[in-house]
A and B are shown apart, each in its own frame.
Chain A
Amino acid sequence: MAILNRLYPLIPALLLTGCYHDFIPEMDTEPVLCINSLITAGEPVAVELSHTWLYTDGDAAGGNVVDDAAVRLFANGIPVQSDYIPQEGDLIRIEASSRRYGDAWAEVVVPETARATVLEAEPRLTRVGQYEGTGVFAADVSFDLQIRLAVDDISGTDNYFHYSCDGCIENDSSFADTDGWESYFSTGSFKYEAEPIFAEHIGVLESVTGSDAWGFTFFTDRQFCDGRYVLNLQYVDANVRIVADSAAAESLPECWLEISLSSVSASCYNWANYCWQMDSGLIGDLGDVGLGDPQWGYSNVSSGAGVVAARSKAVCRIDLSEFVRNALAAERQ
Chain B
Amino acid sequence: MRRLILILMIAAAGTAAAARNVSISAYDRPASEVFRSLVEQTGKNFVYSSELLDGLNVTVVARNEPLKKVLRRMFAKTDIEFTIKGDNVLLKRRARNVVEPLSSHSPDLVETESPDLPEPEMLGEVVVVSRLEAPAVNTAEIGARKLTAGEIASVPVLFGEADVVKALQMQPGVSESSEGMAGMHVHGGGADENLYMLDNVPLYQVNHFAGLFSAFNVDAIRYIDFFKSSVPAKYDGRLSSFLDVRTINGSSDGHHGSAKLGLTSGAFNISGPIGDRTTYAVAMRRSWYEVLSVPFLALMNSASDDEKIRFRYAFMDLNAKINHRFSDRTAASLSIYFGNDELHTGDKSDGDNNTGFGSYYDEKYDFHWGNFVAQLGVVHSFSPSLTAEFTAAFTRYFSSLRKDESETMKFGEELLSFSRLKMTSHNNINDAIGRADFSWQSAGNNRLRFGAGYTFHSFLPIRYRSESTVDDVTVSAESTNGRYPGSELNAYAEDEWHPAEAVIVNAGLHASLFHIDGKTHGGLSPRLSLGWRINDSWAVKGAYTRTVQYVHQLTQSYLALPTDQWIPITGNFKPQTADKLSAGVYWQSADGNLSASVEGYWKRMRNLLEYRDEFYLQPPTEMWTNRLTSGRGTAKGLDFKIEKNAGRLSGHIAYSLAWSDRCFAEKNGGRPYPARFDNRHTINILVNWKINSKVALSAAWTGHSGNHFTLMPQSWEGPGFGSVYGTPEVPLKTAVNNYQLPFYHRLDLGLTVRNSRGFWNFGLYNAYCHMNAIAVRRGWKNTTMITPDGVASESRPIFQKVSLLPLIPSISYTWQF
Query: Chain A: residues with CB nearer than 8 A to chain B?
Result: 1-2, 4-5, 7-8, 11, 16-25, 27, 29, 31-32, 34, 36-38, 48, 50-59, 64, 126, 144, 146, 164, 191, 193-197, 199-205, 207-210, 212, 215, 220, 222-223, 232, 234, 236-237, 268, 270-279, 281-283, 286-299, 304-307, 309
The reply to whether A232 and B299 form a contact with Cβ atoms under 8 Å apart is no
* Cβ contact within 8 Å between A283 and B616: yes
Q: Given A11, A38, A64, A207, which contacts B721 in the complex, CB threshold below 8 Å?
A: A38
Of A24, A199, A222, A291, which is within 8 A of B622 by CB? A222
Contact with B728, one of A53, A234, A275, A293 (Cβ below 8 angstroms) = A275
Across the interface, name the chain A residue whose C-beta is closest to B309.
A8
Q: Which 3 A-B pairs have the closest CB atoms?
A: A290-B775, A297-B730, A1-B303
Cβ–Cβ contact B800 & A223, under 8 A? no
The 8 Å CB contact of B303, one of A5, A205, A292, is A5
Instruction: Please tell me if B714 contacts chain A, counting CB pairs below 8 Å.
Output: yes
Known interface pairs A25-B739, A196-B476; A144-B423 also in contact (CB < 8 Å): no
**CB contact between B777 and one of A54, A195, A278, A288 (< 8 Å): that residue:** A288
Q: A193, B468: Cβ atoms under 8 Å?
A: yes
Contact, CB under 8 Å: A208 / B425: yes
User: Which partner residue on chain B sits nearest A216 by CB separation?
Assistant: B724
Identify which of residues 415-443 in chain B touch chain A, using a CB-to-CB cut-off of 8 Å: 416-417, 419, 421, 423, 425
Asked if B717 and A64 sit within 8 Å, CB to CB, the answer is: yes
Q: Is the CB of B466 within 8 A of A21?
A: no
B 703-721 contacts with A by CB, 8 A: 709-719, 721
Contact of A204 among B462, B470, B718, B774 (CB under 8 A): B462
Q: Give the chain A neighbours of B714 by CB distance below 8 A.
A: 29, 31-32, 52-55
Q: Which residues of B contact A223 (CB under 8 A)?
A: 477, 621
Complex contacts, B616 vs chain A, CB 8 Å:
203, 273, 277, 281, 283, 295
Docked CA distance A292–B713 (Å): 18
When the two chains form their complex, are residues B799 and A56 in contact, meaning their CB atoms are under 8 A apart?
yes
In the complex, chain B residues 721-755 whose Cβ is within 8 Å of any chain A Cβ: 721-725, 728-734, 738-739
Determine the distance from Cα of A295 to Cα of B151 in the docked complex, in whole angstroms: 41
Q: Which listed segment binds A: B18-26, B379-387, B555-563? A: B555-563
Selected interface stretch from B119-127, B497-505, B542-550, B802-810: B802-810
Would you call A283 and B556 a contact (CB within 8 A)?
Answer: yes
Known: A8-B309, A290-B775. 4 other contacts (CB 8 A): A215-B723, A290-B777, A291-B178, A294-B712
Q: Could you tell me if A208 and B403 are in contact, using CB atoms closer than 8 angstroms?
A: yes
A286→B715 contact, CB < 8 A: no
Report Cα–Cα, A195/B469, bound state, in Å: 10
Give CA–CA (A17, B621) in the complex, Å. 36
| Cβ-based interface call for B757 (8 A) | no
B563 engages A204 (CB within 8 Å): yes
Complex contact B473–A20 (CB within 8 A): no
Contact with A along B441-470 (1 / 0, CB 8 A): 000000000000000000000101010101
Interface membership of B84, Cβ < 8 A: no
Q: Are B178 and A191 in contact (CB under 8 A)?
A: no
Q: Which of B401, B730, B775 is A208 in contact with, Cβ under 8 Å? A: B401
In this complex, the member of A193, A204, A268 whose beta carbon has the largest number of chain B beta carbons within 10 angstroms is: A204
State whether the Cβ of B2 lies closer than 8 Å to any Cβ in chain A. Answer: no
Report the bound CA distance from A34 to B719 in whole Å: 10
Q: Which residues of B contact A275 (CB under 8 A)?
A: 718, 723, 725, 728
Most buried by A among B297, B303, B419, B804: B804
Bound together, the chains give a CA A277 to CA B614 distance in angstroms of 11
Residues of B within 8 A of A309 (CB): 719, 721
List residues of chain A with CB within 8 A of the CB of B806.
17, 19
Q: In the complex the two chains form, is A21's CB within 8 Å of B771's CB?
A: yes
Contacts of B724 in A (CB 8 A): 215
On whether A2 and B303 interact (CB within 8 A), knowing A16-B804, A272-B721, the answer reads yes
Q: Can you list 5 A-B pairs, Cβ within 8 angstroms, ordered by A?
A: A7-B300, A22-B781, A273-B616, A286-B556, A290-B802
Query: At the interface, yes or no: B292 with Cβ under 8 Å from chain A?
Result: yes
B779 smallest CB distance to A (angstroms): 6
Contact between A271 and B178 (Cβ–Cβ < 8 Å)?
no
Report chain B residues within 8 Å CB of A289. Answer: 775, 777, 802
**Is the CB–CB distance between A21 and B800 below 8 Å?**
yes
B462 contacts A295, C-beta separation under 8 Å = no
Report how far A55 CA is from B728 CA in the complex, Å: 13
Interfacial chain B residues near A146, Cβ < 8 Å: 473
What's the least CB distance linking A260 to chain B, in Å? 10
What chain A residues lie within 8 Å of B798 (beta carbons)? 22-24, 56
Q: Pick the contact of A58: B471, B775, B797 (CB < 8 A).
A: B797
B732 touches A296 (CB 8 A): yes
Closest CB of chain B to A98's CB: distance in Å? 14
Among B296, B616, B725, B773, residue most surrounded by chain A Cβ atoms (within 10 Å)? B616
> Cβ of A126: which chain B residues have Cβ within 8 Å of it?
416
Q: Are A204 and B475 in touch, CB under 8 angstroms?
A: no
* Nearest CB on A from B806, distance (A): 5
Q: A205-B561, A236-B417, A275-B718 are in contact. Are A11 and B777 (CB under 8 A)?
A: no
Contact B739 A27 (CB under 8 A): yes
Interface assignment of B620: CB less than 8 Å from any CB of chain A: yes
Cα–Cα, bound, A304→B477 (Å) = 36
**A18–B803 touching, CB < 8 Å:** yes
In whole angstroms, what is the CA distance A281 to B614 when docked?
14
Q: Give the residues in chain A near B777, CB-CB below 8 Å.
A: 20, 288-290
Selected contact of B801 from candidates A23, A215, A279, CB within 8 Å: A23
Q: B805 contacts which chain A residues (CB < 8 A)? A: 16-17
Kindly name the residue among B403, B423, B719 whose own CB sees the greatest number of chain A CB atoms within 10 A.
B719
Interface membership of B367, Cβ < 8 A: yes
Across the interface, A194 reaches (CB within 8 A) one of B468, B710, B716, namely B468
Name the B residues within 8 Å of A307 (CB-CB). Answer: 718-719, 721
Q: Which chain B residue has the least Cβ–Cβ distance from A234?
A: B470
Q: Is the CB of A298 within 8 A of B470?
A: no
Q: Which of B307-349 contact A (CB under 8 A)?
A: 309
Tell me the smallest distance from the CB of A36 to a CB of chain B, in Å.
4
| Residue among B292, B462, B473 with max Cβ neighbours from chain A (10 Å) | B473
Is the beta-carbon distance between B729 and A59 smaller than 8 angstroms? yes
Known contacts A2-B303, A208-B423; A55 and B715 CB within 8 A of each other: yes
Are A207 and B711 CB-contacts (below 8 A) given A25-B739, A48-B719, A200-B621? Answer: no
Q: Which residues of B contact A196 (CB under 8 A)?
A: 466, 468, 475-477
A201 touches B619 (CB 8 A): yes
Task: State A27–B775 Cα separation when bound (angstroms).
Answer: 16
CB distance from A46 to the nearest CB of B (A): 11
Nearest CB of chain B from residue A51's CB, rounded to whole Å: 8
Instruction: Verify B716–A297 contact, CB threshold 8 A.
Output: yes
Decide yes or no: A22 and B779 within 8 Å by CB, A5-B304, A208-B423, A223-B621 being known contacts: yes
Cα distance, A7 to B800, chains bound together (Å): 26
Q: Is B291 on the interface with A (CB-CB < 8 A)? A: no
Contacting residue for B715 out of A4, A52, A232, CB 8 A: A52
| Interchain CB contact (< 8 A) of A232 among B296, B421, B475 | B475
Are A297 and B731 in touch, CB under 8 angstroms?
yes
Nearest chain A residue, comparing its CB with the CB of B779? A20
Q: Is B365 an interface residue (CB 8 A)?
A: yes
Residue in chain A with minimal CB distance to B300: A4
With A55-B797, A196-B477 known as contacts, the answer to whether A296 contacts B712 (CB < 8 A) is yes
Contact B713 A298 (CB under 8 A): no
How far does the alpha carbon of A53 sit from the alpha carbon of B771 in the complex, in Å? 30
Instruction: Give Cα A56 to B779, complex, Å.
Output: 9
- Which residue, of B304, B473, B714, B734, has the highest number of chain A Cβ atoms within 10 A? B714
The reply to whether B299 and A55 form a contact with Cβ atoms under 8 Å apart is no
| 8 Å CB contact of A20 from B367, B557, B801 | B801
B463 to chain A, nearest CB (A): 10
Chain B CB within 10 Å — which of A38, A164, A294, A295 has the most? Answer: A294
Q: How far is the CB of B116 from chain A (nearest CB, A)?
A: 37
Is B804 a contact partner of A18 (Cβ separation < 8 A)?
yes
**Residue B796 CB within 8 A of the other chain:** yes
A193, B421: Cβ atoms under 8 Å?
yes
Chain B residues with CB under 8 Å of A270's CB are 614, 617
